[in-house]
Structure 1
Amino acid sequence: MIYENPYADKLHPVREIETIKELIATSKEIFGKKPAFLLKEEKGGDYKEVNFITLKDDIDALGTQLIELGLQDTPIAVIGENCYQWMVSYFAIVNGVGKVVPLDKEQSKEEIFNLVATAGCKAIFFTSSYKNIIKDLDIPFKFQMEVYTKRHQHDLDTSWENLIDAGRKLISHGDRRFIDMELDPMEVRMLLFTSGTTDVPKAVMLCHKNITSNIMDISRIVKLKEDDIALSILPIHHTFESTVCIMTMLFQGCGVAFYEGLKYVTKNMAEARASILVGVPLIFESMHDKIWKQAEKMGKAKALQTAIKINKALKVVGIDARKKLFKSVYDNFGGRLRFLVTGAAAISPTVIRGFFDLGIEMVQGYGLTETAPLISGTPDFTDRYTKAGSVGTVVPSGQMQIVDKNEDGIGEIIYRGPNVMLGYYNMPEKTAEVLKDGWFYSGDLGFIDENGWLYITGRKKNVIVTKTGKNIYPEEIEDYLAKIPYIHECMVYGEDNEETGETMVAVQIRPNYELIEEEFSNANVQEKVYKLLKSKIADLNQNLPNYKRVRHVVIRNSEFVKTTTQKIKRQENKL
């Protein structure tokens, strides 16, 4: 059965755009002097607003100078911290210069060099913190960006600011090569290396149409407010941040503020008056946990529970008292937080409902780099509270199917729509494995309910198959284990029993030592921690079928190896 978005009559109207260049141009015309970005010229300083007019002017200037340098139609890499310069460089490259190659700033020197060579880059933009790495890179052009510009002298000919100045001069003398360039919406303009949890990195080829169709689809199911401001905290090279957060905000005329680091999130939210946070489950689960821990420490947990009940009762009669009832919670996050967007990994439905109970709305989505990224999302005009375990309905311009279903209706999620990639760069065989007859085979498993809402159950590659042919989804067992408060995080996998030859369920656990030490004296002794967790898992096992029960427990004291969106890399963490 082919599923389409079931809410055609409720979708928000949007303006049509075919290219990111058109997005920037139309946003300038519509929103003009409204803030597009908020940035700091020095660490710890005040936020400075950059409006939509200045944004377009900076993009035009940089693009013009890059063409003058002979970089048209070449791949150009960008790496560094989230900042205004990063995004302007991205926009200039894709809007008329060449192909952008956004790189993960967490990668090693060897990986960076390898990816630059694989993509055939002729130039790279980098923030100054990568200066010592990039100096050894054999590449014709290296352009240095400063996240904080006030303390730096721009004496380098190749500095970002000097490129902008040179481009402005060219434009003032009538150079319109970049400004007037018409783009093919279907031409490859982005090479995005995937941070797969089980495979080697592949360069996903995306075009303008892939991105703009997704921006319009997101805007059809989620309408932002005129004064919304998002704080940019996720890795900027990732499509979840660049498409779902930054470009969708700009499309709807909202602002984006750049944070100074994770420990400054609350401070930066208050300073920027941010109302939206786009993040991964780990961030929001930690936020939710801290709210209740703080309430308990201050003896206000019961009062908060009472406030939640009052808020629910008032909502029934159409009264919104959130700002008064949960003022202390909002104050913790800068005073204006109203909206959270989560994706990139599974999140506990309890956390989603918990934020809704506190008057903070939460939108959940599912997607991949190969789909630029969103495949499904939870529309703001639906009951997201009762559907908290779902990643929503298929986006308005796409179609979805579940194929190769088992007896429970669980199968592989396949999708087709204008946001599906053009293929993997120089990998025709890998492309053919996932693109078949116009459908993209995601490798993810799930089912769709009677209302057309998608539920993710795991990755096809992660399924544990027993000798009797039973399928066990590690993610399902991990969800059960996550309910044990003494577990900080865990990874479930299959392990063969040497004596019986049977495949059994094993788990690596990073204990929640802080909580364990609070509740048990001398609990930092490994043997005691192991016994505590084994007993809790034994209780949990009683509610699971025999073949799904956890048989082997390993205590892990080191961090799991993860992607930049905090997914555990399963293959790299196996013992």
Structure 2
Amino acid sequence: MSTLTHKGVTGRSIAEMYKLAAERYGELPAFAKRLKSCVFQPVSYSDLYDYGLFLGTALIELGVKARDHVALLSDNRVEWNIADYGILLAGAADVPRGTDVTNQEIEYILNHADTEVVFVENKRLLERVIALMPKLEKVRQLVSMDSQCPPIEGVLNLKGLIEKGRELREKGDRQIEERMNAIDPEDLFTLIYTSGTTGTPKGVMLSHANMISQVESLPFSIEPNDRLLSILPVWHSYERIFQMIAISSGCCTYFTSLRSLADDLKTVKPTMMASAPRLWENLYLRILKNIRESHWIRRGLFHTAYFCSRMVKGSVFFLQGKKIDLKGRNLFESAGLGCFHALRAILFLAPYIALNAVVLEKLRQIVGGSFKGTVSGGGALQPHVDEFFNYIGIPVQEGYGLTETSPVIAVRTTQKLVIGTVGPLYKDTEVRILDLNTGDILYPNPSNQNEGRGLKGEIHVRGPQVMKGYYKSPDATEKVLRDGWFNTGDIGIFTNNDCLKIVGRSKDTIVLLNGENIEPIPIESKICESPLVDQCMVVGQDQKQLGALVVPSIEVFQAESVAELSDRADIRDQIAADIRRLVSRENGFKAFENIQEIALLPKAFEIGDELTNTFKIKRHVVEKRYFSVILGLYP
């Protein structure tokens, strides 16, 4: 991905951007849905915009007012984008969620967001929403997005609404143009609900201006002939901004799934995609498995090719300033290392060129052969996986952000491909690194060496992408957003390469490798209901699954100290079984919230050490102290 200024269409609002994209790109394909293996059906920019106009016109006729909130319960599909167009062109804001939404979330979100109209993907989810209608205070109209769904009394159909809007426009209805022209950049674009520290979802308010800033500041180029593969949930802010960038750029987005991904990579031959770490870890393991099971000659060729690639690219990265620099190398050190890396690159260049063409090029075909790159987000990319793909020539960049920042704060580019970091800051974004204990500014601070580069602290950001706040939650907003500065809750370092490195979290949310956000406190509270458990802390940041550090009850097990219980496998098994009983689907927990492994600790958490004065766990202290124990949960 070359580092170029984005040249796609934008506008004062996303609605205006949609209009300009239709005018510029016309009959070019905007989205393509998978009909069957190797067969995709595209919808053009012109048709997509027309469908949006028709639907938006029908929504206005239905009583949807400017700045209303319209719910959109659906996974990735072309109909999602049509509904999105219609809602936004009508001057309303959407409230998106996937089909895995729980009944409790449906009830809370639709009531809290003041939604009156709800789009629902399929019959199964529609039946769940209908059953909840007595509890949905303001919902007055459901819309089925599935054309195959049998008619249900009182439920409208997406296709029928589009036809209704077409008829209204043929009769001269032009209210939607007035709505579009009246959209202010600060108007709400979307209301995305994300879990809070108590487990109650918080509505993140993102404006049109927030999203336009993300599109306009794209640090690499995407062209109309590019092909994007969509696999992440479209209601997540990361996948969504990627799709809006695609619309702005005039390229086509193809919808895929984990089941069909391998086939679709070969069929679509994507040039780019938004991705999550889990995808690359799985692909990495699959490649290594195939290599282990191959003939010894092929194994030897691969290992030789990869070694040569590491030598050459590792040295080239250093010479280009792409090796992470936390302490600040002096001129003498840089000169010496520069000579070493120049010689090493020259020494291995010839075998690398030969083996790259013979061996590594075949590996690159696994992503279709036309891949320019991907941005991995939603969790940390494991360093060995990061290095592997970049060294074999599959450019996996890493980005960083949150729903509250629309989402991108920083992202690596070809010019700033510093492995181990999430790259330089997005355009017009400011960052502060604050001391975790005192709150003092560590970076940028002229009184510190290198202005504080290399110092670890809490990341605070300010920029055009920062949210308006949490909907109807001023106290929660005040806790994280002051004077335009948003407290990310993450711990990081600003490097001497002017890149951001994420090293941990200061707030409680755990993000699994697949991007699932989990609040540990409700899980910990449930675990501590067990009489066998005195204290516990849930772990799993950037891992596949959750684990728990447990302090067993010395009273129940009649022990003199916790230490004498920590090595007892029978006690560990007994506690693990009780945790499985408590943290279960029957008790309202999702599958990814289950505790898969536990470790018994040799001492209890104490105030002033692992606990605050109010008995809250100092997670970063526990994680540092029991780092090796936590690693042992993930062999």
Which interval holds the TM-score relative to the shorter structure? Answer: 0.7 to 0.9
CA offset digits 1:242-285 (Å, max 9, x no partner): 11x211111122111111x3111111223333232322111111
Asked if structure 2 preserves the Cα contact closer than 8 Å seen for 1:246 and 1:256, the reply is: yes
Equivalent residue number for residue 134 of structure 1: 129
2: CA distance, partners of 1:405 / 1:17? 40
1: CA distance, partners of 2:435 / 2:5? 34
Q: 1:389 aligns with which of 420, 424, 436?
A: 420
Shift of 1:18: 2.5
Equivalent residue number for residue 60 of structure 1: 53
Equivalent residue number for residue 230 of structure 1: 228
Shift of 1:331: 3.7
- After TM superposition, the structure 1 = structure 2 runs for residues 356-395 of structure 1, keeping only pairs within 5 Å, are 356-382=390-416, 384=417, 387-395=418-426
TM-score, normalising length: structure 1: 0.76
Equivalent residue number for residue 435 of structure 1: 481
2: CA distance, partners of 1:496 / 1:416? 43
- 2:288 equivalent to 1:292: yes
Shift of 1:396: 0.6
Equivalent residue number for residue 184 of structure 1: 184
2: CA distance, partners of 1:132 / 1:377? 41
Matched position secondary structure for 1:100: strand
Asked if structure 2 preserves the Cα contact closer than 8 Å seen for 1:101 and 1:192, the reply is: yes
2: CA distance, partners of 1:45 / 1:553? 41
Q: Which runs of 5+ in 1 are unaligned?
A: 1-9, 465-472, 483-487, 511-528, 532-544, 558-575
Q: 2:373 aligns with which of 339, 353, 376?
A: 339
2: CA distance, partners of 1:344 / 1:136? 33
Shift of 1:324: 5.9
Shift of 1:550: 3.7
- After TM superposition, the structure 1 = structure 2 runs for residues 309-320 of structure 1, keeping only pairs within 5 Å, are none
The number of aligned residues is: 489
Matched position secondary structure for 2:379: coil
- 2:461 equivalent to 1:415: yes
Shift of 1:301: 2.9
Aligned residue type for 1:48: Q
Matched position secondary structure for 2:427: coil
Given the superposition, is the C-alpha separation of residues 153 and 427 from structure 1 closer, same or farther in structure 2, using an over 3 Å criterion? closer
- After TM superposition, the structure 1 = structure 2 runs for residues 143-154 of structure 1, keeping only pairs within 5 Å, are 143-146=143-146
Q: Which runs of 5+ in 2 are unaligned?
A: 134-138, 317-344, 443-453, 510-519, 521-536, 555-559, 577-596, 600-622
1: CA distance, partners of 2:251 / 2:304? 35
CA offset digits 1:371-399 (Å, max 9, x no partner): 110111112322x1xx2110111111211
Equivalent residue number for residue 274 of structure 1: 270
- After TM superposition, the structure 1 = structure 2 runs for residues 233-272 of structure 1, keeping only pairs within 5 Å, are 233-243=231-241, 245-259=242-256, 261-272=257-268
- 2:303 equivalent to 1:305: yes
TM-score, normalising length: structure 2: 0.69
1: CA distance, partners of 2:301 / 2:423? 33
Shift of 1:62: 0.9
2: CA distance, partners of 1:198 / 1:351? 34
Given the superposition, is the C-alpha separation of residues 437 and 38 from structure 1 closer, same or farther in structure 2, using an over 3 Å criterion? same
CA offset digits 1:133-181 (Å, max 9, x no partner): 12224231111112xx5x6788997211111111112222221111343
Q: 1:403 aligns with which of 434, 438, 441?
A: 434
Larger relative CO (CA 8 A, sep 6+): 1 or 2?
A: 1
Q: Higher Cα Rg: structure 1 or 2?
A: 2
- Aligned residues: CA RMSD: 3.8
Aligned residue type for 2:285: D
- After TM superposition, the structure 1 = structure 2 runs for residues 446-457 of structure 1, keeping only pairs within 5 Å, are 446-457=492-503
Aligned residue type for 2:407: P
Aligned residue type for 1:171: R
1: CA distance, partners of 2:12 / 2:624? 53
Shift of 1:335: 3.9
- After TM superposition, the structure 1 = structure 2 runs for residues 16-95 of structure 1, keeping only pairs within 5 Å, are 16-40=10-34, 42-44=35-37, 46-73=39-66, 74-95=68-89
Given the superposition, is the C-alpha separation of residues 424 and 336 from structure 1 closer, same or farther in structure 2, using an over 3 Å criterion? same
1: CA distance, partners of 2:200 / 2:152? 40
Shift of 1:342: 0.5
Aligned residue type for 1:376: A
Asked if structure 2 preserves the Cα contact closer than 8 Å seen for 1:402 and 1:446, the reply is: yes
1: CA distance, partners of 2:174 / 2:29? 26
Percentage of matched positions with identical amino acids: 27
